[in-house]
Amino acid sequence: MSRILREPMVIVNFKTYLEATGKRAVELARKAEEVCHETGVSIGVAPQFSDLAAVAAEVDIPVLAQHLDPVKPGGYTGHVLAESVKEAGARGTLINHSERQLKLSDVSEAVNRARDSGLLSVVCANNPYTSAAVAALKPDVIAIEPPELIGTGIPVSKAKPEIITGTIELVRRVNVDVTILCGAGITQGEDVTAALRLGTRGVLVASGIVKAKDPHAVMLEFAVASKKG
Amino acid sequence: MSRILREPMVIVNFKTYLEATGKRAVELARKAEEVCHETGVSIGVAPQFSDLAAVAAEVDIPVLAQHLDPVKPGGYTGHVLAESVKEAGARGTLINHSERQLKLSDVSEAVNRARDSGLLSVVCANNPYTSAAVAALKPDVIAIEPPELIGTGIPVSKAKPEIITGTIELVRRVNVDVTILCGAGITQGEDVTAALRLGTRGVLVASGIVKAKDPHAVMLEFAVASKKG
Amino acid sequence: MSRILREPMVIVNFKTYLEATGKRAVELARKAEEVCHETGVSIGVAPQFSDLAAVAAEVDIPVLAQHLDPVKPGGYTGHVLAESVKEAGARGTLINHSERQLKLSDVSEAVNRARDSGLLSVVCANNPYTSAAVAALKPDVIAIEPPELIGTGIPVSKAKPEIITGTIELVRRVNVDVTILCGAGITQGEDVTAALRLGTRGVLVASGIVKAKDPHAVMLEFAVASKKG
Amino acid sequence: MSRILREPMVIVNFKTYLEATGKRAVELARKAEEVCHETGVSIGVAPQFSDLAAVAAEVDIPVLAQHLDPVKPGGYTGHVLAESVKEAGARGTLINHSERQLKLSDVSEAVNRARDSGLLSVVCANNPYTSAAVAALKPDVIAIEPPELIGTGIPVSKAKPEIITGTIELVRRVNVDVTILCGAGITQGEDVTAALRLGTRGVLVASGIVKAKDPHAVMLEFAVASKKG
């Protein structure tokens, strides 16, 4: 895992924002790559499936899918294989984001599919209990994101620090190896520093960067802040 | 929880079998009640939502719903509240059966809704890893059921004992209190005894009883066998 | 169909409001029955699955389920059969409400299951085009409800009359027999009259009645207004 | 629409078969292009999302997505925009395939998203009634595929011709413009000819070509046969 993303890490979820679609996905990924080179901080980017190949061809930072279907090769029209995602150049994948949640058994199968394909698995969870549940499935990374804060600009690391510390406590009883990130409402460097000081190893962010007037500046701020954690 | 179902326990899932719908649901529940009285073994029955009230009005054994929606009172047409299920006379509920799986966050919320309403929560899981994940959500009961054996007559307790022992091992690392059941393919008393000897505290059964020529006889056999566990 | 609900009709969707759950579902249904007797207007009530039997036992007006699973008898834990719904006393069912939408093939199968079981099918749709699509499936009733107005108190019949007239026009090209209702935001008698004057044959309402301080008075107002349509 | 695929047409659904994933998707698309050049018959190919860009960059035949999410730009992690699909080089999309079915309102929205983005919409349906329902949504193409025949090698055009003729009859009452295809079990040229003689304008095929020992030969056979329709 550490070969794919070093800690502390920043993962930028491009969602389906136009600002991070098609050519603009490639441009945003390039800016992330610059910040990575400038600071040495590990930044991963997660564009839409159909943008994966173009992004991965252009940048030398880890590219992740935003979702992984829990299916093996066969008759599953409209789904995407781990094999295809990987061949397109992705090195990891988000799983179970609050905007693309899976049945429990499918979270498990998606983690297995990622592991078998050599993809870093970053599983999202909405609270400390579900985070502990996810920990039992042995993913590489857990990202705790309270859905009520996503996209609000109210940083989880400052507004609800007890969710982060509670998650870490419950997760560690189940799994001592998994990397823990947090997300939701992160828009400033100090939110990143706060997240790390609470015990996480990085952040998962989306609108805070994608929708920023100067995404390069914000990523730079985040990367610098992550060194203070 | 022990006030609702004693260990060892047998839970009969009526599914949507015609043999266990409407008046026939009431009849089958009466037979379960007879066996309970004859043997002292705790038998719960899980009819369809719309049969809950009629069944609960007629028998003095625990009645469970087959599913619980993870919603609070409000605008959720087509869903069913824990409050309604309870007022209809149910004392517990299955959650996340392989034929009615939920997103992870919804399994968590349904367990919370059951707890807050005083309903026994029996959460189903398909393998040892997802069982351990469920254990982190602190339900009253976990029922491990490998989907590939459901309805086959091939008993999980004899065909795949390692799934049961593996489940118990992983679950206990996360949760020492939860009651563990198993199900899938259970049709004979010896399958029940085997399940208990592997360390479970009972079984979740459906077609093995509902589709039997003489359900009373099979339930009696199961109840007697559960005393040998 | 006309044997189950006469035109003009008012269908009251109880949703999962506490004010219309358990004993309070029975009480609200009794008030609907009173209004039906006082005015001769056909009023149907749609409580939760687990309240169907208690409500149907107490009132002599049509009781509808809020949803119908598109399954036949078999292994479908957590689902509800048309057979069970009917035996509980329901005479019809909502299908595809915006809060419980189905895949297209399942809408079709649920309509078929209702028809084969002698249940009145009331299929909800969100716009004129999907209403026309539903019309091709030959349900008994179509209820057009723009989701953005549900629960707002802004009546579709006054705020968006063109949606109703557009629906009627498109539906009639496909199906000349189906009864057309509308819903969303209906809280006053004049909203009902407006709906009927636009060409519908009644309304589907929920919070406007369930959440009213005096549901009997509002239902009476609706019933009287429906005679002016 | 005719600018994207001419009639008669053959659309090859790559599903998630390994034989049509990654580089092998590109290879198979090249063979389709050869057949198109050899015969003048219009052949479209539908690879996975993450293979779209690589395939579209290499061939000069229409490339389709296998599914289209009914979402507009915004916070929809794990989904894919029409804008992204199009920028990757796709010129159309399947919608509502039986292996990736959508709620009715989402079929409608996906058709609208395709139309607004200049993507050819090919909506799948499972029977004549749902085909007529789809016709009301005004897609470019409807593909009728009885799910029970998919992947069987039993051709719908020979085993259930009444489904095709019934579909055409019901669809034409609702929509006189939409192009009608059929699929399921098509493995031989004579199945294609039969489909066209029943009144369709082409076929949607998957395993019959993807899993064939010599896909080029089968596509050639299909293309030649489609001229006899």
Residue A109 has pLDDT above 50, yes or no: yes
Q: Average of pLDDT values for A132-157? A: 92
Chains that touch A (3 or more CB pairs under 8 A): B, D
Contacts of residue D79 in chain A, CB cutoff 8 Å? 16, 48, 66-67, 99-100
Report CB contact under 8 Å: B17, C85. no
Contacts of residue A174 in chain B, CB cutoff 8 Å? 132, 136, 173-174
Q: What is the pLDDT of residue D12?
A: 98
Q: Average of pLDDT values for A116-130? A: 97
- The answer, yes or no, to whether the previous bond of B8 is cis (omega within 30 of 0) is yes
Residue A159: pLDDT band (50, 70, 90) is confident
3-state helix, strand, coil in chain C (%, to 5): 45, 15, 40
Q: What is the side-by-side strand order in the sheet with C141-144?
A: C42-46, C9-13, C202-205, C179-183, C141-144, C120-125, C92-95, C64-65
Q: Which residues of C touch D (CB under 8 A)?
A: 96, 98, 101-105, 107-108, 125-127, 129-130, 132-138, 170, 173-174
Q: Which residues of A are known catalytic residues?
A: 97, 145
Angle at B142 between CA B141 and CA B145, to 5 degrees: 140
Comparing A2 with C127, which gets the higher pLDDT?
A: C127
Residue B21: pLDDT band (50, 70, 90) is very high
DSSP B29-60: HHHHHHHHHHH--EEEEE--GGGHHHHHHH-S
Residue A1: pLDDT band (50, 70, 90) is very low
Cβ neighbours of residue C188 under 8 Å, at least 6 residues apart? C155, C221, C225
Joined tokens for residue D72: 């507009």
Contacts of residue A54 in chain D, CB cutoff 8 Å? 53, 88
- Contact between D60 and D42 (Cβ < 8 Å): no
Phi, psi of D69, deg, nearest 5: -75, 140
Joined tokens for residue D165: 């003729």
* CA–CA dist D130, C108 (Å, integer): 7
Per-residue model confidence as pLDDT tens digits over A31-88: 999 999 999 999 999 999 999 999 999 999 999 999 999 999 999 999 999 999 999 9
b/e code D166-197 from CB counts within 10 Å (16+ = b):
bbbebbeebbeebbbbbbbbbbbbebbbbbbe
Which residue is catalytic, options B67, B109, B145, B221?
B145
- Contact between A88 and A56 (Cβ < 8 Å): yes
Neighbours of D54 (CB within 10 A): 24
Per-residue model confidence as pLDDT tens digits over B162-188: 999 999 999 999 999 999 999 988 899
Residue B149: pLDDT band (50, 70, 90) is confident
User: Strand pairing partners for C144?
Assistant: C125, C182
Place of tokens 């052949």: D43
Query: Helix, strand, or coil here: C51?
Result: helix
- Contact between C70 and C81 (Cβ < 8 Å): no
Helix (H) or strand (E) holding B106: helix B104-117
* CA–CA dist C143, C204 (Å, integer): 7
* CA–CA dist B158, C72 (Å, integer): 31
Cβ neighbours of residue D2 under 8 Å, at least 6 residues apart? none
* CA–CA dist B180, B140 (Å, integer): 9
Average pLDDT by stretches of 10, chain C with 229 residues: 80 98 98 96 97 97 98 98 97 97 98 98 97 98 90 85 94 96 91 93 95 97 90
**Residue C34 among the catalytic residues:** no
Report CB contact under 8 Å: C71, B100. no
Q: Average of pLDDT values for B14-31? A: 98
Q: Number of residue pairs across A and D with CB atoms under 8 Å?
A: 166
Q: Which residues of A touch D (CB under 8 A)?
A: 13, 15-18, 21-23, 25, 48-54, 65-67, 69, 71, 73-81, 83-85, 87-88, 90, 94, 97-100, 150-151, 206-207
Pairing state between β C42-46 and C64-65: unpaired
Closest chain D residue by Cα to residue A22: D84
b/e code B99-116 from CB counts within 10 Å (16+ = b):
bbbbbbbbbbbbbbbbee
Q: Average of pLDDT values for B9-31? A: 98
Place of tokens 């000819």: D193
Nearest CA-CA partner of D203 in D180, D181, D187 = D181
Helical packing angle, A161-174 and B161-174, nearest 10°: 140
* CA–CA dist B30, B36 (Å, integer): 10
Query: Helix, strand, or coil here: D43?
Result: strand
User: Strand pairing partners for A11?
Assistant: A44, A204
Cβ neighbours of residue B194 under 8 Å, at least 6 residues apart? B155, B157, B158, B161
Comparing A114 with A155, which gets the higher pLDDT?
A: A114
Residue B1 has pLDDT above 50, yes or no: no
Length of chain C (residues): 229
- The answer, yes or no, to whether the previous bond of C139 is cis (omega within 30 of 0) is no
Q: CA–CA distance from A164 to each of A156, A177, A208, A222 (Å)?
A: 8, 17, 19, 18
Neighbours of D137 (CB within 10 A): 26
Name the percent of chain B lying above pLDDT 90.
87
Contacts of residue B136 in chain A, CB cutoff 8 Å? 129-130, 132-133, 135-136, 170, 174
Residue D203: pLDDT band (50, 70, 90) is very high
Q: What is the pLDDT of residue C1?
A: 47
Cβ neighbours of residue A162 under 8 Å, at least 6 residues apart? none
Q: What is the pLDDT of residue B66?
A: 98
Place of tokens 């925009």: D81
CA D93 from centroid of its chain's CA atoms:
8
Mutate: best of A11, A16, A97, A204, partner D, most D CBs <10 A: A16
Which residue is catalytic, options C67, C97, C109, C221?
C97
Q: What sign for the dihedral angle of Cα D167, D170, D171, D172? A: positive
- Contact between B195 and B203 (Cβ < 8 Å): yes
Q: What is the pLDDT of residue D4?
A: 86
- Contact between C224 and C39 (Cβ < 8 Å): yes
Residue D1 has pLDDT above 60, yes or no: no
